[in-house]
Amino acid sequence: MKSDSPTPLHKPNPRWMTGGIIGIIVVVLLGILGFNSFTIVNAGHRGVVVQLGAVQPNVLGEGIHFKAPFIQTVIPVEVRVQKTENSAVSASRDLQNVTTTIAVNYHLNPDAVNKLYQDVGLGYSERIVNPAIAEALKSVTARYTAEELITSRQEVSEQVKENLSKKLTMYGMILDEINITEFNFSEEFNRAIEQKQVAEQQALKAKLDLERVKIEKEQTIQQAQAVAESLRLQKQEVTPELVKLREIEAQLEAIKKWDGKLPNVTGGATPFIDVTTGK
């Protein structure tokens, strides 16, 4: 006869369960190790390798790279052109306060980003670039008067660029271009410049008026000289015969205009005749 008692259940094998858990742990660990064994450096960046807190001499370029998991860390650093705009207050050679606004384009030297990271860190803009810009502006503007800063802007810009480039090169940065966008002076200086321009315009007008008067005077003198010369020449040509001819011409002209009536009194070269009495 068959027994009606239930069939006993099989208990899980402890060894099998332990092996499965260990296998899962191993797979997870291998996945983590694999994930941490590679790094990707994006376009426009370089990778600074830090191993156990020490910056390594090799710099990683763009792309995928192998690294020692949990030992090495890769810090991405941008090497594309960066722009910063600053305003700095300085004094000109004639002790005028001037506020200069400047735009600076620069980029990091791709081969020296590890040195920059080691010496300065990622805050290089605030620690190095901005102070260097202010220093270069103050150094150059002190060589020029306020007016010269305006009239010689290109020369000032070139000197600022030269000074700033030397400073940034020391920290592994390359200066691309600068543009001085504006010079701002005090209200007193602006008024003085305006008054000077007005005075220069008035002086120019006075000079032009003086030249005009001088030219008109010379023209008058030349005209007078021409008239005097003409009279002199005419005087040289006057002869008794010419005088007699002019008298005859005048008498003929008078005859042409005579209306047939005799005047009561005549005068001139002929004796006076009283035509009313017949004497």
**Domain-ending residue, one of 44, 78, 112:** 78
Same domain, 181 and 86: yes
Question: Cβ distance 47 to 60 under 8 Å?
Answer: yes
Which percentage of the chain shows pLDDT scores above 90? Answer: 39
Q: Is residue 205 assigned to a domain?
A: yes
Domains of the chain: total: 3
Whole-number pLDDT of residue 94 = 85
Question: What range does the domain containing 59 cover?
Answer: 23-78
Average the pLDDT over 171-175 and give the result: 95
Q: Is residue 262 assigned to a domain?
A: no
Any idea which of 125-139, 171-185, 212-226, 249-263 has the lowest mean pLDDT?
249-263
Whole-number pLDDT of residue 18 = 66
Same domain, 155 and 231: no
Read off the CATH number of the domain in which 133 is found. Answer: 3.30.479.30
Most confident of 40-54, 180-194, 200-214, 221-235: 40-54
Average the pLDDT over 85-111 and give the result: 91
Any idea which of 57-71, 122-136, 248-262 has the lowest mean pLDDT?
248-262
Any idea which of 141-155, 176-190, 228-242, 257-271 has the lowest mean pLDDT?
257-271
Q: Is residue 195 assigned to a domain?
A: no
* Phi, then psi, of 248 in degrees rounded to 5: -65, -40
Same domain, 147 and 209: no
Residue 179 has pLDDT above 90, yes or no: yes
Same domain, 90 and 69: no
Whole-number pLDDT of residue 279 = 43
Same domain, 41 and 109: no
Same domain, 67 and 126: no
Q: Is residue 272 assigned to a domain?
A: no
What is the token pair recorded at 8? 């006993």
The mean predicted confidence, pLDDT, of the chain is: 79
Residue 173 has pLDDT above 70, yes or no: yes
